[in-house]
């Protein structure tokens, strides 16, 4: 069970306002995609949810509990970074188990969780390889595996596919949708790619210049865009 609420969330950097009052509800097990052009504030918003950035104004709740002053390790979330954030000198097994080791999880429990994540992500044949011996798609699955082993209430993804080629991105979109089904987890997924948003989301949040332009299902946005920005952005994939 994991819900998220934002009430008038704001962020400014030294007087420059970049997030200008976001109100949003994320339901349990929903896959919500934040989409918008580069610089609109997607990463900033995600990092505030993760606790990696202070919140300048407003309130953030997870399962009804106010999170503004709670540290990142205590929010029950896991953020999936791009695959190049893997430790190059560690094997896949070590990369996936490392956060658990830091948290003093027993070796037996770590092995169980890594094996489970490897099964879900079809990484079993690669557990003893190092990231440099794997393809971009396989490395991205390891980055996701590092989040899965922590059993988070909410998964946060920041453009996880942006450095993969088009064919692999298509395949990973399908895999991520399957993962969402299998894990039955709440997920917030950031992308500037309209196709990713339209094919993966239960609910899309369209952002521009620190504000929400529209929230809706892919079909709602496609058939009933609230304004020309949404119509142009959703209707005209680059």
Site of interaction with Mg ion (CB under 5 A): 43
CB of 91 to ligand ADP, least distance (A): 31
Report in angstroms the alpha-carbon separations of 158 from 32, 41, 79.
Answer: 12, 12, 8
> Phi and psi dihedrals of 129, rounded to 5?
-85, 165
Interface pick for ligand ADP out of 40, 121, 148, 179 (rule CB under 6 A): 40
Interface pick for ligand ADP out of 5, 10, 17, 43 (rule CB under 6 A): 43
CB of 63 to ligand ADP, least distance (A): 25
Closest alpha carbon to 238 in 203, 199, 196, 177: 196
CB of 214 to ligand ADP, least distance (A): 16
Give the neighbor-by-neighbor strand order of the sheet with 16-26: 16-26, 4-13, 57-62, 65-66
Picked from ligand ADP, Mg ion, none, the partner binding residue 184 (CB below 5 to 8 A depending on kind) is: none
Report, in this order, helix, strand and coil percent for the chain, each rounded to 5.
Answer: 40, 25, 35
CB of 64 to ligand ADP, least distance (A): 26
* Distance of alpha carbon 90 from alpha carbon 176, whole angstroms: 24
Picked from Mg ion, ligand ADP, none, the partner binding residue 18 (CB below 5 to 8 A depending on kind) is: ligand ADP
Picked from Mg ion, ligand ADP, none, the partner binding residue 177 (CB below 5 to 8 A depending on kind) is: none
Report in angstroms the alpha-carbon separations of 151 from 17, 34, 192, 215.
Answer: 34, 22, 27, 28
Nearer to Mg ion among residue 79 and residue 92 (C-beta):
79
* Distance of alpha carbon 217 from alpha carbon 76, whole angstroms: 26
Interaction between residue 41 and ligand ADP (CB under 6 A): yes
Interaction between residue 42 and ligand ADP (CB under 6 A): yes
Interaction between residue 39 and ligand ADP (CB under 6 A): yes
- Diameter over CA atoms, the chain: 55
Picked from Mg ion, ligand ADP, none, the partner binding residue 84 (CB below 5 to 8 A depending on kind) is: none
- Chain positions contacting ligand ADP, by CB under 6 A: 13, 18, 36, 38-44
């Amino acid at each position: 069970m994991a819900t998220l609420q934002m009430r008038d969330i704001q962020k400014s950097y030294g007087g420059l306002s970049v997030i200008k009052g976001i109100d949003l509800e994320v339901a349990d097990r929903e896959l919500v995609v934040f989409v918008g052009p580069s610089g609109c504030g997607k990463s900033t918003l995600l990092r505030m949810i993760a606790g990696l950035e202070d919140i300048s104004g407003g309130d953030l709740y997870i399962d009804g509990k106010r999170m503004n002053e709670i540290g990142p390790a205590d929010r029950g979330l896991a953020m999936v970074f791009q695959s190049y954030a893997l430790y190059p000198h560690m094997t896949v097994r070590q990369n996936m188990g490392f956060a658990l080791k830091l948290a003093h999880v027993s070796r037996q429990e770590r092995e169980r969780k890594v094996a489970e994540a490897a099964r879900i992500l079809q990484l079993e044949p690669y557990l003893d390889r190092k990231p440099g011996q794997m393809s971009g798609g396989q490395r991205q699955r390891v980055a996701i595996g590092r989040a899965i082993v922590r059993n988070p209430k909410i998964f946060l993804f920041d453009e996880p596919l942006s450095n993969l080629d088009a064919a692999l991105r298509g395949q990973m979109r399908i895999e991520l949708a399957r993962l969402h089904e299998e894990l039955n987890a709440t997920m917030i997924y950031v992308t500037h790619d309209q196709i990713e948003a339209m094919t993966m989301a239960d609910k899309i949040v369209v952002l521009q210049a620190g504000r929400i332009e529209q929230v809706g299902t892919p079909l709602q946005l496609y058939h009933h865009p609230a304004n020309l920005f949404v119509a142009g952005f959703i209707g005209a994939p680059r």
